[in-house]
Amino acid sequence: AHHGATPDQPQKRQRLSLACNECRKRKVKCDSEMPKCRNCRIRGHVCETTDPKHPELVVVRKYGAMEGDFRENSYGMTSDLSPAPVAHHEPKTPVSLPCEPSASWVARSYQAHRTLNTASIIPAEESPEMTVNTDSNNGRQKVMGGSSLQSLSMFLDLYLRRSGLAGIGSCFRHGMSFCEEYVLPLSLSLPDLPPHSLMERYIQAYTRSIQPLYPVLQLEQLYAEVHRIRSYQDASWSPSGGSFLQPTDVPILACIYCVISLGSDEAAGALTEAGSNYLAAAYGLYAHLVGLPHLSSAQALVLIALALQSRGKEGQSCQVLGSAVKIAHSIGIHRHISAHGNSHEPSHRQELHARIWWTCYAIERLYELETTRPSSIPHGEHDPFQPDRVLSATSQAELKYFVYWVSLTTIFERISGLLYRRKRSPEGSLQLLQNIGMLDRALRDWKNSLPEDIRPDCDFYCVENERPFATFLALHYHQALITLHRASLVLPHDQFLEKIETHAENLPYHQRLRNGASLCSASACATIKLNANINGRLQTPLHTLTQILHGCIVLGLSILRQPHSRTVRSDLELLVTGTQLAEGEYCRLGQHPLFIEACSTLRRSIS
């Protein structure tokens, strides 16, 4: 006891030997509350302490000795977090604090790994439910959610760390600026239209490669507008002479510029200087497009989003698409079905409205599935997808791949909504497994609705000019299947099987759920093979490098989880092929070198 202390005076707790990690990082006072200090409890952080002199040793809370002091937790039980007796010198593994009741299954899966003697290799602040990419130099920040590729890479890193191998999760933040930003010149440039023969070549390439899946333009109207603008140009008028442009001409000009950009790249089979210049010109008109929020502006914004995606700017593409969706909402084309009332044959304008809306819807649902960011399209705030009520029989035949694609993205919406969107109430394991089984049934029904010559799990024997569209559908099908069955990959295997056995009588598809990890591995292999068979570039308006990198990470996880499988050697060969393809394409796009290192690191660590 201290001198001068009265018997009834409460003994003052000695100072903490070390503040917890969070308090040290924030440079605030720590305290001795249990099981968390007050700061960590308020912020919802895991309260852990590492000794800066011995960072490899992790403890939970460390207090100065205090005779007669019994630290108890809020339940009246002796705390599990009290320090070990002095006689023991082995490093103490921090106790996993229970997940919050409202935590998603993604967060709970990650927490489960902390209980398998791996907590010391998992930073306390990590959470795959929402990963934050920051640039400390300029304060930029972007987040990705639980269905994202970056979230999945965190689970891959768990297995790599256990084996003392380098992970890839830290590489993702280096790719943020390239994906999310698009720098435009301060001065606006409006180039002339190309010569007639070249313009015709670009339109034909656009019609052949883009229009069947993203039919936002009426081709007859496109030709008419190009002819009109060219007639002005032939009369010694130039688009750069802004005083000659009517305000309503600006969105039309932006659409034409986008067609030139997309068509130029498609005709060349690679990114072109003309494609970049005309995209910059179209994007430079962005303020005019949102200033005139009408149908032609929505069309131009969708085309700009596609051109950005083809250059690896998916984050920027998503931003532009959001503006197109807002304009579409203001026009009311998300309610297109009720527009024609009792009419038996929809008009061309009603068909165009439906095509523009469903294109916005499909791309938005894909971005939502890949990021878990809040969607620009509120769920349920649009008419259901029923092409037979809006598209004529002729249009349905001409746009059959578009119809298949939009139908698939309605399942994307359900996957995001039932499995990944943040909920107010916790989801039990039975509900999670039932949702996975129900959505898996929907994906199989969608696959079986396709003609046999283009089904994703079969060899394609459709006509050659339709093969890119069949590949497009197959890649997105496998992407959805992996995202749906991700729980079988990220949950500890025994725990996942135990949950299925517990609820088997309430799970009609329990046998397929048991094989979820195998389904993911098979889809990952199929994804890499499909990309390997693509002629030309892998980053286009139709497909992105996210898909092949997704396949590589899933295949890497499968190899690490079952290193003695008989298929490991062939899987490793596929993994090498996939990472090399992605690496080369990222280099051609100009991605950040430190992000591209994820491909070589994954290849070296697993091989």
Residue whose entry in the numeric block shows the structure tokens 């302490």:
49
Surface-to-core class of residue 89, CB atoms within 10 Å of its CB (0-12 exposed, 13-18 middle, 19+ buried): exposed
CA nearest 560: which of 164, 167, 156, 111? Answer: 156
What are 56-92's pLDDT values in tens digits?
444 444 333 333 333 333 323 333 323 333 333 333 3
What are 32-54's pLDDT values in tens digits?
776 678 777 666 677 778 767 66
The structural domains of the chain, with segments of one domain joined by +, span: 13-90, 107-119+142-167+423-607
Q: How far apart are the C-alpha atoms of 259 and 275, rounded to whole Å?
A: 9
Quote the pLDDT of residue 352: 94
- Half-sphere exposure (Cβ direction) of 63: Cα atoms closer than 13 Å: 19
Residue 356 structure tokens: 């523009």
Q: What are phi and psi of 49, to 5 degrees?
A: -135, 130
What are 566-580's pLDDT values in tens digits?
999 999 999 999 999
Could you tell me if 234 and 272 are in contact, meaning their C-beta atoms sit under 8 angstroms apart?
no
DSSP state at residue 60: S
Q: Which residues of 447-467 are buried (b: 16+ CB within 10 A; e: fewer)?
A: beebeeebbbeeebeeeeeeb
SS3 144: strand
Q: How far apart are the C-alpha atoms of 454 and 604, rounded to whole Å?
A: 35
Q: Per this entry, what is the length of the chain?
A: 607
Q: How far apart are the C-alpha atoms of 557 and 562, rounded to whole Å?
A: 9
Could you tell me if 488 and 516 are in contact, meaning their C-beta atoms sit under 8 angstroms apart?
yes
Quote the pLDDT of residue 421: 77
Q: How far apart are the C-alpha atoms of 303 and 309, rounded to whole Å?
A: 10
Q: What are phi and psi of 434, to 5 degrees?
A: -65, -40
Q: What are phi and psi of 125, to 5 degrees?
A: -85, -5
Could you tell me if 302 and 286 are in contact, meaning their C-beta atoms sit under 8 angstroms apart?
no
SS3 282: helix
Q: How far apart are the C-alpha atoms of 309 and 399, rounded to whole Å?
A: 22
Q: How far apart are the C-alpha atoms of 548 and 544, rounded to whole Å?
A: 8
- Half-sphere exposure (Cβ direction) of 241: Cα atoms closer than 13 Å: 8
List the alpha helices (DSSP H) in 5-83: 21-26, 38-43
Mean pLDDT in order along the chain per 10 residues (607 residues) = 45 56 82 73 73 55 34 31 33 35 57 54 56 72 82 89 88 91 91 94 97 97 94 70 76 98 97 97 97 97 98 96 96 70 67 95 95 86 82 92 97 91 66 92 97 90 93 97 92 87 89 94 97 93 95 95 91 97 96 96 92
Q: How far apart are the C-alpha atoms of 475 and 473, rounded to whole Å?
A: 6
